[in-house]
Structure 1
Amino acid sequence: MPEHDHNHEELSGNRFFWVTILNVVITIAEFIGGALSGSLSLISDAFHNLGDSVSIVFSYAANQISKRKQNARNTFGYKRAEIIAAFVNSIALVLICVFLIVEAVKRISHPEPINGTLMLIVAIIGLVANLLSAFLLNAGSKSNLNMRATYLHIMSDALSSIAIIIGGVLIDLYNWTLADPVVTMLVALYIIYESIPLVRQTFRILMQGAPDIDYEAIKRDLLEIDGVFSVHHVHAWSIDETNIIFSAHVNLHDMKISEAQPIYSEIAKLLKEKYHICHVTIQAETTRGEHEDIIYDRGNDIP
């Protein structure tokens, strides 16, 4: 493993740990603040944070599992652990937002007196802690779906804190108790909007969906390699968001294995450098299947 990647993984693990600590502190503060101020909004957000704490621990565990080496039990390694965690966390985030919308509707129907000042103080503390957590995870969220899911959880918490702050100010100044549930609903809808693409991307990877690469361009490039005259029965799938696996049948002129080996190397080099494919499996044939389509289909998933 390259040193940069190793340092990145260690850094990710350390950041997950500190984000977990911060989130637990926020949860406790909001439960206490909600009980003392009578703010259902704070208590609801405390449950939200409690769920996030569990999801962050889950993400951290997946991050550690993903570092395990390949073995006879998992020949492609354990990187899918983070994809599973990202999928579960993003689904959980959508469900939490739906719950918050339901609770907001209830608060609109049955408003209750709230201590806006205490609510405001606790929300500000929560916002500061959430922004610090978001800062810790921001870099990794750009290249790691697991950290992206956790980052979205934290950002949803930060936005919830902002909503509570706005609600607290409006309650203190104008006694407008409807402000909190209205802003909460808007924030929840935004988080759902941000989470859906993550759900779709992780689900596609888990379903062995093909990565977004140009197969016809790959075929054209392979046919330009001296000795290759047909390409068919191609499969491609992703282990995680960065590692692509590729297999194909290629038709070669009749030759010795030692003569075919340089062609294999040239194919692997082309696919790695131009299409960023990390693992290539080639099955060499002479005339078998030479007229078949590049994507093999006989009406079943895996012939």
Structure 2
Amino acid sequence: MGAGHSHGPKIDAGASPEARQARERAVAIAAVLTGGFMFAEVAGGLVSGSLALLADAGHMLTDFASLVLAWLAFRLARRPSDWRRTYGFDRFSVLAAFVNGVSLFAIAAWIVFEAFHRLGEPGEVLGGLMLWVALGGLAVNLLSFWVLSRVEEDDLNVRAAALHVAGDLLGSVAALGASLVIIFTGWTPIDPILSVLVALLILRSAWSVVRESGHILLEGAPAGFDGRAVAADLVAAVPGVAQADHIHAWSITEARPMATLEVELAPGHAPDPVRRAVKARLAERFDVGHATVEVRPPAGSGEEQHEHDHAHGDHAEVLGQ
């Protein structure tokens, strides 16, 4: 019986150092733009009395946090794995995403609570100031999105950051729309109403982030990976595989799936070619580039009985120590 171990690439393994630096730099620029304007939007919301601006500032705060965490993930990914962290630091980005998602729930809850309070006790909103601040936020978000879209390609980290900024664009549009309604009609309830819509957008993003990151942290199977389908496929597609079982799959990050499994040889096949073929099939058909495959002899063979007795002997010896 033998075991094989295959190391798959990290998320960014195929990118050149220049490309990785460009992505890291783009995320840093977007974080500075978003974080800098967030303070201006908070000040504008407090002075103008606009909840929509404050809601958008809250959304920008979560975007700023996600951009900083994305930047930190790039920085930490440079560090090599060691004996204590054999998978390196890629999982940090998943943990950061989970924390960021939970914080989104708290911010959305505050926005909804404040909106109902404002609807019951409407206050004055300075539509003109609100309009200029909303326009500034829209410009900053458009610039940030443009910077990120230039280097997005297939990098999940940058793609997630770009999606956050795209969501914030909607918040800026909502604040802009509310300011125009207030300027031309004086109807201030539009401000808390649109802020609730922004909160709902935040909750939708938050639920998606928490669900996906929590699934990875709980060692759930990668998306689209069904152990039953994998077992049937290996038996049908790989010559020499009589049975596949004890299949376990999880992910370090969304782009780094892992798997362990056992395969039973068909009579007349050697273990090493079958092991290599199984790994190749897992990578090609199921996008699992990091797999540990253990091969056992055909059922009913004398070699299988020898392996069984040897394993039980080792177990008894350990228990007797």
Tell me: CA distance 1:266–1:51, structure 2 relative to 1, closer, same or farther (3 Å). Answer: closer
User: Aligned partner of 2:203: which letter?
Assistant: I
User: Aligned partner of 2:232: which letter?
Assistant: R
Report sequence identity in percent.
33
Residues 61-210 of structure 1: matches in 2 within 5 Å?
A: 61-138=72-149, 143-144=154-155, 146-210=157-221
SS of the residue corresponding to residue 15 of structure 2 reads helix
Equivalent position of 1:268 in the other structure: 279
User: Aligned partner of 1:64: which letter?
Assistant: R
SS of the residue corresponding to residue 250 of structure 2 reads strand
- Residues of 2 paired with 1:244 and 1:29: CA distance? 42
Please state how far the C-alpha of 1:102 moved relative to its aligned partner.
1.5
Tell me: CA distance 1:35–1:223, structure 2 relative to 1, closer, same or farther (3 Å). Answer: closer
Tell me: CA distance 1:174–1:64, structure 2 relative to 1, closer, same or farther (3 Å). Answer: same
SS of the residue corresponding to residue 4 of structure 1 reads coil
User: Aligned partner of 1:11: which letter?
Assistant: A
Please state how far the C-alpha of 1:51 moved relative to its aligned partner.
4.7
Tell me: CA distance 1:143–1:208, structure 2 relative to 1, closer, same or farther (3 Å). Answer: farther
Residues 205-244 of structure 1: matches in 2 within 5 Å?
A: 205-211=216-222, 212-224=224-236, 225-244=238-257
Please state how far the C-alpha of 1:12 moved relative to its aligned partner.
2.5
Tell me: CA distance 1:12–1:99, structure 2 relative to 1, closer, same or farther (3 Å). Answer: farther
Q: TM-score, normalised by structure 2?
A: 0.79
Equivalent position of 1:297 in the other structure: none
Equivalent position of 2:31 in the other structure: 20
Are 1:152 and 1:195, in contact at CA under 8 Å, matched by a contact in 2?
A: no
Q: How much is the aligned-residue C-alpha RMSD, in angstroms?
A: 2.8
User: Aligned partner of 1:218: which letter?
Assistant: V
Structure 1, unpaired ranges of 5+: 290-303
Structure 2, unpaired ranges of 5+: 1-8, 306-321
Equivalent position of 2:315 in the other structure: none
Are 1:149 and 1:198, in contact at CA under 8 Å, matched by a contact in 2?
A: no
Q: TM-score, normalised by structure 1?
A: 0.83
Tell me: CA distance 1:44–1:184, structure 2 relative to 1, closer, same or farther (3 Å). Answer: closer
Please state how far the C-alpha of 1:138 moved relative to its aligned partner.
4.3
Please state how far the C-alpha of 1:5 moved relative to its aligned partner.
5.9
- Residues of 1 paired with 2:256 and 2:190: CA distance? 46
The number of residue pairs the alignment matches comes to 287
Please state how far the C-alpha of 1:116 moved relative to its aligned partner.
0.9
Tell me: CA distance 1:231–1:159, structure 2 relative to 1, closer, same or farther (3 Å). Answer: same
- Residues of 2 paired with 1:14 and 1:113: CA distance? 42
Are 2:52 and 2:175, in contact at CA under 8 Å, matched by a contact in 1?
A: yes
Are 2:34 and 2:60, in contact at CA under 8 Å, matched by a contact in 1?
A: yes
Moved more, 274-283 or 207-216: 207-216
- Residues of 1 paired with 2:115 and 2:121: CA distance? 10
